C-alpha cells in the first residue's frame, strides 16, 4: 500500500489530467432551424432566417433596389453602392427573445423536424411563395419545401416566421427613409403601429437601433419620433 506522502505525489502528478477541460462533444452542437421564402412578385423577392438554439439569429433578404438606394445598416455604415446596383440586399444579425426561440423549436419538434413532406399537395391553391423549413442538430436533419401546409405546427411556424420577416423589413425601410426621405417615416411608423396592435409583428426589439436613431433625431417630425418611442415601449424595450 502506498505511503501517505507517495499518495499525495501521485495525486499531484495526475491533477493536470483530471482538471483538463473536456472537448465539446458533437452532441452539444446547437440545433438550427432555417426558413427561406422565394416569391418573385413580392418585395423582398427572397429572404432567409437562420435561428440557432443558442446565439444570434440571422436574417438576409434581397429584392429590387430603388433607383437612389445604397446599402446602409442600422448603425449608419454605408457599404459599396457600386455592388449589386439592381439588388437591394439586407443582412441583419439579432437576438431573439428566449420565449420566441423556444416556441420555434417546440413547433419544429411537433412538425417532426420536417423529415417528411409538409406540403398539402392541394391543387388550385394560390401561390404564396416557395417556402422551405429545415432543421439540423447532432442527431437528426430534415428539410421540406411547400407552398401551403395542412400541418398545424407548420402553419403556426410559418405565420410566426413571416411576421418576424415583416418586422425586420419594416426596419429595413425605416433606415432607408431615415437616410433619404424623412417625411415618409411617419406613414411607415403609423402602418407599423397598426400592425403591431393587430399582433402581426413580433420581435420589434430586433430593430431597436433604427427606432432609437429616429427618436434621437431632432430633424424628424415629433409625431414620427413619438410613434417610434411607443413601438419600443409597447414591445418592452426601454
Rounded CA-CA distance 232/228 in Å is 7
Q: Is 24 part of a structural domain of the chain? A: no
pLDDT computed for residue 88 by the predictor: 87
Q: Is 74 part of a structural domain of the chain? A: yes
Number of domain units in the chain: 1
124 conformational bin, left if phi > 0, alpha if psi -120 to 50, beta if neither: left
Nearest to 47 by CA among 144, 149, 158: 158
Q: Is 19 part of a structural domain of the chain? A: no
pLDDT computed for residue 138 by the predictor: 94
SS3 156: helix
Q: pLDDT tens, position by position, for the chain (238 residues)?
A: 445 444 434 444 444 444 343 333 445 678 999 999 999 989 999 999 999 999 899 999 998 876 554 444 554 444 444 444 568 899 999 999 999 999 999 999 999 999 999 999 998 999 999 999 999 999 999 999 999 999 999 999 999 999 999 999 999 999 999 999 999 999 999 999 999 999 999 999 999 999 999 999 999 999 999 999 999 998 877 6
Cis peptide before 45 (omega within 30 of 0): no
Rounded CA-CA distance 71/89 in Å is 7
pLDDT computed for residue 87 by the predictor: 80
Range of the domain at 109: 29-234
pLDDT computed for residue 29 by the predictor: 79
pLDDT computed for residue 31 by the predictor: 97
> How many CB atoms lie under 10 A from the CB of residue 179?
15
pLDDT computed for residue 80 by the predictor: 43
Q: Is 9 part of a structural domain of the chain? A: no
The model carries a pTM of 0.81
pLDDT computed for residue 98 by the predictor: 96
Q: Is 161 part of a structural domain of the chain? A: yes
pLDDT computed for residue 66 by the predictor: 60
Q: Is 13 part of a structural domain of the chain? A: no
Q: Is 1 part of a structural domain of the chain? A: no
Residues 124 and 147 sit within 8 Å (Cβ to Cβ):
no
Q: Is 7 part of a structural domain of the chain? A: no
Q: Which three cell numbers stand for residue 57?
A: 439569429
Amino acid at each position: 500500500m502506498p505511503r501517505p506522502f507517495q499518495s499525495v505525489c501521485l495525486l499531484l502528478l495526475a491533477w493536470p489530467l483530471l482538471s483538463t477541460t473536456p472537448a465539446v462533444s458533437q452532441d452539444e452542437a446547437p440545433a438550427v432551424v432555417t426558413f427561406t421564402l422565394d416569391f418573385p412578385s413580392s418585395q423582398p423577392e427572397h429572404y432567409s432566417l437562420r435561428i440557432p438554439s443558442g446565439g444570434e439569429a440571422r436574417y438576409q433578404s434581397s429584392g429590387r433596389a430603388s433607383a437612389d438606394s445604397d446599402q446602409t445598416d442600422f448603425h449608419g455604415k454605408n457599404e459599396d453602392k457600386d455592388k449589386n446596383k439592381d439588388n437591394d440586399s439586407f443582412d441583419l444579425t439579432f437576438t431573439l427573445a428566449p420565449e420566441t426561440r423556444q416556441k420555434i423549436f417546440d413547433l419544429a419538434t411537433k412538425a417532426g423536424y420536417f423529415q417528411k413532406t409538409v406540403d398539402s399537395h392541394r391543387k388550385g391553391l394560390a401561390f404564396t411563395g416557395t417556402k422551405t423549413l429545415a432543421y439540423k442538430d447532432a442527431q437528426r436533419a430534415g428539410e421540406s419545401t411547400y407552398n401551403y401546409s395542412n400541418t398545424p405546427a407548420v402553419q403556426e411556424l410559418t405565420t410566426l416566421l413571416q411576421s418576424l420577416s415583416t418586422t425586420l423589413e419594416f426596419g429595413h425601410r425605416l433606415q432607408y427613409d431615415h437616410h433619404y426621405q424623412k417625411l415618409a417615416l411617419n406613414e411607415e411608423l403609423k402602418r407599423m403601429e397598426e400592425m403591431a396592435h393587430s399582433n402581426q409583428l413580433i420581435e420589434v426589439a430586433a430593430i431597436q437601433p433604427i427606432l432609437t436613431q429616429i427618436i434621437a433625431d431632432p430633424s424628424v417630425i415629433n409625431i414620427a419620433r413619438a410613434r417610434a418611442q411607443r413601438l419600443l415601449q409597447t414591445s418592452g424595450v426601454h
